[in-house]
Amino acid sequence: NALAKVFQDSQASVAGHKKQIIVLKAIQLRAQELDHEEFFNFVFCKLVNKVLVIKKSEVVGDRIVKLVAAFILSLQQDYSTEEEGEEEEEEDTLFSRFVRVFLIHLLKGIESKDKNVRYRVVQFLDFAMSGLGEIDQELYETLTYSLDRRLHDKEQNIRIKALHCIARFQEEQNDEADEDASLDDDATSKLLVAIQNDSSAEVRRAALLNLARSNHTKHYLLERAKDVNSINRRLVYSRVVKDLGDFRTIDSKTREKILSWGLKDREESVQKACVKMFAQDWLSTVDGDLIELLERLHIAHSEVAELAMKHFFNFRKDLIPKISFPEDIWLKLTPEISFLARTFYFHCFQNLLYDIVDANFPESARLAELLTRYLVERKTILNSEEEEDFGFVIENLLTIAVNYDYSDEIGRRAMLQTIRSSLTNDRLPANLTKVALQVLRKLSINERDFTSMVTEIISDIRDVDEENENNLPNSEEDELKTVLICLSICKSMLVLINDPLKDNISVTSLIDTLINPAVRNKNSDAREAGTEALSLCCLLDLELATEQLYLFGLCLSKGHEELRIIAIKAIFDILSVHGTKVLDVEDGVDTLSFHKLLYRTLKNPELPALQALCAEGLCKLYLADVMTDDELFETLILTYYNPLNADNQSLLQAFTFCLPVYCFSHPNHQAKMSSIGSDAFKRLYNAHSGEQEEDEREMISPTIILQQLIYWTDPANVVNQEQSEIQKSKTHLTLLIGLLESIEETDDKKYRKMIIMNMNKFTIHSSIGYEDLKKLKAALEGVEEIVEDQDNISKTNFTKFLNRFEPVFTEAQVVEQEKSN
Amino acid sequence: QQQSENKNKKVKQDFTIDFTTLLDDDEEERIFTKSKISTMLPQPTGNERHNNYLLPDDIFFSSEQLTKLFLKPHQKLSVFRKFKHIRSIDNKDANN
């Protein structure tokens, strides 16, 4: 009874637990003295029983669990200090006997049919384990076996508790020992299974937080940066990476990945956590040395470094005044310093911090001078690694120069001179050419000035080349190199201009002398560059585009993959700019063969990249109403759901994004979807049911497809629509009539049922008008007999729809009669 | 039983366990009864394709991308001016 009183008093709050534990121990000792030890244990368990049935949400239960845990912990401490002198001698103590009885008692309930009991049992075990040192082997084995089963309990809360408890069995691992003994203990490997395979985000989270941090588990932990649950993703950035210690111990590829995932995460909280990890935790790991941090990013090859720095400066505004570029540093730029300068410049430029720019960055004339220095030095370098470094420094300087202030005429001229001479003489690689042209465009007075300068540069390059030829016979290889350099410059120029070609002789002459010959070049690099340059010209001139469309079509159907990719981009860009005016002209491409070509490209899963581009381009053209063909549009839908394309993420994500955007952007778009919807669904259904057993799970289930179609054609989802417009929309009506008609054409009861079961998701309003509603009525009457053959639930659902439809129809009828009166 | 449960909800704060009476053996047996139906999740058969609950690689498709040319990415298309509201669909859809 004294024992019961302790329990009774302990449930209200944990505050008095210390005292209660003293009382408990006293009772236990007295029981032993009076030879009532067994009775004590018996009553104790009986009392615990009372807690086992308590629902998880009741805190009183939790308090008792804590009391018991504290009791065990306290005993553990007492006995372990006592034991010290005697060494493992005394295995059988009052304490160990108690624990044994208690645990065995709990285990009786671990498979209970009552989920509360299972939950409480595992909770007791978890807490008890926190206080326990060692238990005997046999009991340990039963315990782990039972807990392992609870790791697969139906209830996620029980799984979480079991996981906590198992986590306690993980052996402390130190990383050095880990190297050779990469064998995990049992407990860890169980958690590794859970972190990857448990369907509940919370269970995976529990595993994420409780897994031992070691070299071996690192990969599993960091992988959660892409967990489908955003809290789990965030925890990787806010907790797990920190727990793993020095970020430099994570290999650089993995670092790049987790940075990139985090900074681009669609969930803002994840992004923030990632920025904080980078700009705060990592920076302090390298003692605030920004240059070292940049070295760790491997900036020259990193895709994410620029984005990371952008966030960095925004997050660490406190550091902005502390960053400075003294004059002499410009003479010994390293890749890291130049990259820092460039990203810092960009930040200041964006945030209008002109004082900081003036204080840290050289005048334009000086910048030109510096650039020349590095450009000259680059040419003296033979070893490729250094060349790469120099190229990177130059690229950064050029990028800074694009947005520089050239109001000082001397500076402007100096920069112009530097850029022109470098483009003419240095045979810059493509990445540098591109930026150099951007600087040149900035320096030129207008587009015409820009194009004539570039044309001059190109002809100078060719002249120099020819002069050489006169002395020494030039090899074909050198000639090709020259052509490629010129094409690279030409392309970079064309991207930057927008004026019509018509009166621009400098560009038209390039088409004849450089571009057209390149298109017919034997070398595939030259052909690709030529084709791309030509298509850029086509964007500036309708006539040229119409003329050359056939050529691009030819490249798309016959070329090698790279050329096809350029060709399809060209085709879509041309249509985007000029519309269908380029089609059906004499001696040109007709619409039908154009559609066929795209149809073939879209259907061909052998070149997934091309297929994805084709999907994206078509979506673009449909969205812009450049294309309106129904058949091709239906092909888009069929392609989206075709299991052959299930692995083509670019394709799928383009569709996932574009199809709803298309439907919801204009009522006409939605009408198109509803007019092809039923036919597309029928075909997809047949394709699905015709599939082999093993493929079946590859395809999205028809139910989901149907629901998507209903969602896409729901007029309430179209943007900027008045309520009255929404009510008049026939999109759901059209789709439903189509589907009902398709019911009549098939004997498949499952198909029929699927349609009938989804009928009530359609919205049909009387404003649609009597005439159109009559068509639906007819369609409904047409299937009535068929519905009679279906199961009861279908019948009920059908009647439900009829009951909904009847008043709508009557209302429309009344309105119609009033009108005619 | 039903009544007491309802009462618990109302005065949750005051819910206490009555430790003065103990469950008898029958009751203990009852709470420890194993379930006839499995309390475990069905185990995956093994050949199921699972992606370990990870997101697919995000190619960051955006409305931005749809209004640009492929070969001249900084040129926006005039025909898309009327689709200023695409972004709003974009957001709406993300919430769905």
CB-nearest partner of A654 from B12, B17, B61: B61
Domain end residue (candidates: A295, A322, A349): A322
pLDDT exceeds cutoff 60 at A606:
yes
Residue A200 one-letter amino acid: S
Model pTM? 0.80
Residue A518 lies in a domain: yes
What is the per-residue pLDDT for B48?
Answer: 44
Are A534 and A448 within one domain? yes
Q: How many domains does chain A have?
A: 4
Are A29 and A49 within one domain? yes
Task: Please work out, in degrees rounded to the nearest 5, the angle formed at the alpha carbon of residue A68 by the alpha carbons of A62 and A71.
Answer: 140
Are A472 and A421 within one domain? no
Are A352 and A401 within one domain? yes
Q: How far apart are CA A765 and CA A42, in angstroms?
A: 71
Are A79 and A101 within one domain? yes
**Residue A202, both tokens:** 């919370």
**Residue B31, both tokens:** 């709470």
Domain end residue (candidates: A443, A461, A491): A443
What residues in B contact A53, CB-CB < 8 Å? 31
8 Å CB contact of A650 and B63? no
Are A437 and A450 within one domain? no
Q: Which residue has the tokens 């009255």?
A: A724
Q: Which residue has the tokens 């400098």?
A: A506
The DSSP letter of residue A319 is G
What is the per-residue pLDDT for B7?
Answer: 43
Q: How far apart are CA A28 and CA A14, in angstroms?
A: 20
Residue A206 lies in a domain: no
Q: Do A708 and A641 form a contact (C-beta atoms < 8 A)? A: no
What residues in A contact B15, CB-CB < 8 Å? 58, 60
pLDDT exceeds cutoff 60 at A24:
yes
Domain end residue (candidates: A109, A135, A161): A135
CB-nearest partner of B55 from A47, A117, A226: A226
State the nearest Cα–Cα gap between B51 and chain A, in angstroms: 9
Report domain extents, chain B.
Answer: 2-32, 63-95
Are A60 and A102 within one domain? yes
Residue A697 lies in a domain: no
Give the residue numbers spanning the domain of A455.
444-538
Are A483 and A502 within one domain? yes
The DSSP letter of residue A716 is G
Q: How high is the ipTM of this complex?
A: 0.71
Cβ atoms within 10 Å of A16's Cβ, excluding its own? 14
Q: How far apart are CA A419 and CA A543, in angstroms?
A: 34
Q: How far apart are CA A247 and CA A277, in angstroms?
A: 10
CB-nearest partner of B54 from A4, A7, A227: A227
Residue A415 lies in a domain: yes
Higher pLDDT: A155 or B32? It is A155
Q: How far is CA A671 from CA A82, A659, A732, in A?
A: 84, 13, 9
Q: How far apart are CA A224 and CA A237, in angstroms?
A: 10
Query: Largest alpha-carbon pair distance within chain A?
Result: 118
Are A391 and A518 within one domain? no
Note whether B88 contacts A: Cβ–Cβ < 8 A.
yes
Higher pLDDT: A29 or A696? It is A29
Are A439 and A370 within one domain? yes
Cβ atoms within 10 Å of A227's Cβ, excluding its own? 24
What is the per-residue pLDDT for B33?
Answer: 77
What is the per-residue pLDDT for A700?
Answer: 78
Average the pLDDT over A585-608 and give the result.
92
pLDDT tens-place string over residues A707-719: 999 999 999 988 8
Sign, CA torsion A656/A660/A665/A667: positive
Note whether A109 contacts B: Cβ–Cβ < 8 A.
yes
What is the per-residue pLDDT for B80?
Answer: 54
Are A327 and A437 within one domain? yes
Ranked by mean pLDDT, which of A381-390, A467-476, A793-802, B12-21 comes out on top? A793-802
Helices (H), A579-626: 591-603, 608-623
State the nearest Cα–Cα gap between A420 and chain B, in angstroms: 23
pLDDT tens-place string over residues A196-244: 988 899 999 999 999 998 888 999 999 999 998 999 999 999 999 999 9
Q: Which of residues 46-65 of B touch A (CB under 8 A)?
A: 48-50, 52-63, 65
Note whether B7 contacts A: Cβ–Cβ < 8 A.
no
- Cβ contacts below 8 Å, chain A against chain B, sum to 183
Q: How far apart are CA A498 and CA A495, in angstroms?
A: 8
Ranked by mean pLDDT, which of A7-16, A510-519, A685-694 comes out on top? A510-519
Residue A307 lies in a domain: yes
Residue A286 lies in a domain: yes
Residue A91 lies in a domain: yes
Residue A221 lies in a domain: yes
pLDDT exceeds cutoff 70 at A698:
no
8 Å CB contact of B89 and A226? no
CB-nearest partner of A196 from B15, B52, B79: B52
Q: How far apart are CA A122 and CA A1, in angstroms?
A: 26
